[in-house]
Chains A and B, each alone.
Chain A
């Protein structure tokens, strides 16, 4: 029902956008004779802006917004004004695909930032690849997206239009396992996931790395997203004698799991991935979240000197959502696209190519990205993965996420 109204809305938006760009291109012609000023390029954003995962999703939207505002005020690309077009994908692959279609159909869109969820990204990849439009995700961590189905044995890049500023679960799962086994001295872990691309993938990688280190898996289970009652699962975990729970998934479910687990009287921590690294997790689980852990990509935003202005801007503008998890990565992803536009313009003798040509040249330019972003150095390897492979373990201490260990992980 809601999806249908979204289709209508999307088509209305697309039609509107197409009409507008039609006007825009006429204006551009007039302008280009007068010295190529005032070209408006759009950067699309697709992320969950309402409902599930929206805390982190809004962080992506506003991270991109701040990058665009900065680029415009600093006139990063002479004669080009950037604007944002943020679409809500509700963390659903189907809607993500519609958004991708809407963005590629809008002629003013030069590239896209997002989505938040790996599962949503999967449904968008082909659309962007066909349109030859660059997509930079600040948060997708599933290794298959850049290295293909057989990424462990024969990595092969499926889509050359896809990049990400987040490091992958291949490192995140192992990093968590290493910290659990060597840092926390946990020997027996119960592994739960939510069956989604991201959650199941991460839980599997954690499981493999943890058993390789010599740890034991006390049991595994899967949950449905949207479930509320985990009483039965909590009893199972209690009975398994596990000394830690690892959860692959988002905070919506893990907050309920940790609460219901601790209500059974078991005081063992729940460890998760970047999907549950959000303030909402602590708000929803209350004191039950104390001592729980999560890995997140990169180094803590608040400790990055380059991100200081970003954090201040985010707070002073009163933007909703949480910049902590991906805001800075979204900023850098957006800046990478903007820098690519700049490079393309310069290589073309100061004139901006149009249409298809611009999009495909931007893809090539993003591949060559190399600059100091606010989250660290931003550049991409031959798969489109970031070369910045820093990860951080956070723990809930007195109702707040505190960074406890930052480092990288060597899977070999």
Chain B
């Protein structure tokens, strides 16, 4: 059986999830040059927000009603936390040296993890999440409903974000703020508002990714944000940090690279020791290093954050 189409599909799915989270990193970086390391935890809290909605609804609610409600609940929590983090943790440090907000972000990330672990009921172990488990065979590729949801969500999110940034007034104000925040302010743009919107969009996309994560893997836990956040950050850098299309592309390239490395490298003669699932990350990061060696600005360059 030829497994390549299935493995490509696996990689595409994983990559879409990375991409959705990576957009949060890249938008915030593009506008305030801040690497928001707490973004992985915003993703995680989005998952727990959605789980709360699921637990609050009577069991037996149709998935058609459940998934949109979970998206709203998870999105609300993630957006509130992202905006709160901006308002109370990052804004007071706007003029501070770059290292200060970075360390704040790491501290916030640990704090959010511990808050969820200590205060969410039974969050010290994996919590079961409703699944969309019906499978479909498309030729040699088997996918399930949760995978379809993930791909649709990624496409819809990306398309609406692209439309928003290009066409709407706020979107154009965002581009202007990214190019030069001081001049943008002189032109009458409320840059604080723009920054809040960037955090909110990033938070909402992370929540969408978290719902997809739960539906696909069947459980969430308080540590899931760490590794996913790191991978998504890598995806953002790979695609060119600051560029929203780059984030999505970087995510997909990273996901496919990981999957293919895990699937095929140990089949190459003499490479058995360097292949398999446990080496997937190594190869993914090798790819990152190679890309950065030859294209330091990432695959699509820093188009949005194009500062002189």
Contact = CB atoms under 8 A, between A and B. Distances in A.
B4 to A, nearest CB: 10
Contact of A223 (B142, B218, B258, B278): B278
Given A54-B124, A239-B3, A283-B126, A226 B227 contact: yes
A240 B137 CA distance: 18
Interface in B246-264: 258-260, 262-263
Interface stretch (B6-14, B90-98, B162-170, B201-209): B6-14
Given A231-B10, A263-B133, A51 B218 contact: no
A232 B259 contact: yes
Contacts of B281: 224
Contacts of A284: 125-126, 128, 218-219
**Most B-side CB within 10 Å, residue of A50, A228, A256:** A228
B139 to A, nearest CB: 13
Contacts of B172: none
**Most A-side CB within 10 Å, residue of B124, B142, B144, B259:** B124
A55 B127 CA distance: 12
A235 B276 contact: no
B271 interface: no
A1 interface: yes
A255 interface: yes
B131 A228 contact: no
B238 interface: no
A239 B144 contact: no
A19 B259 CA distance: 55
B110 interface: yes
A364 interface: no
A263 B126 contact: no
Given A222-B276, A232-B7, A265 B228 contact: no
B120 interface: no
Contacts of B280: 232
User: Which size bracket describes the interface of A in this complex?
Assistant: 35 or more
Interface residues of B, number: 42
A228 B217 contact: yes
Contacts of A252: 126
Contacts of B6: 235, 264
A230 B10 CA distance: 9
Contact of A195 (B3, B227, B266, B278): B278
A221 B276 contact: yes
B135 A263 contact: yes
Contacts of A192: 277
A236 B223 contact: no
Contacts of B260: 232
B40 to A, nearest CB: 12
Nearest to A235: B6
Contacts of A396: none
A288 B218 contact: yes
B224 to A, nearest CB: 6
B138 interface: no
B117 A256 contact: no
Interface in A1-55: 1-2, 50-52, 54-55
A107 interface: no
A256 B137 CA distance: 21
B106 interface: yes
Interface string A254-298: 011001100111000000000000001001111010000000000
Given A283-B128, A286-B128, A226 B223 contact: yes
17 contacts: A1-B106, A50-B124, A192-B277, A222-B276, A222-B278, A227-B227, A231-B10, A231-B259, A232-B7, A232-B259, A232-B263, A232-B277, A236-B3, A263-B135, A264-B6, A265-B137, A280-B125
Given A233-B262, A236-B262, 4 more contacts: A228-B217, A229-B10, A236-B3, A264-B142
Across the A-B interface, the 9 shortest Cβ-Cβ residue pairs: A231-B10, A222-B278, A232-B262, A284-B219, A284-B126, A232-B259, A221-B276, A223-B277, A232-B263
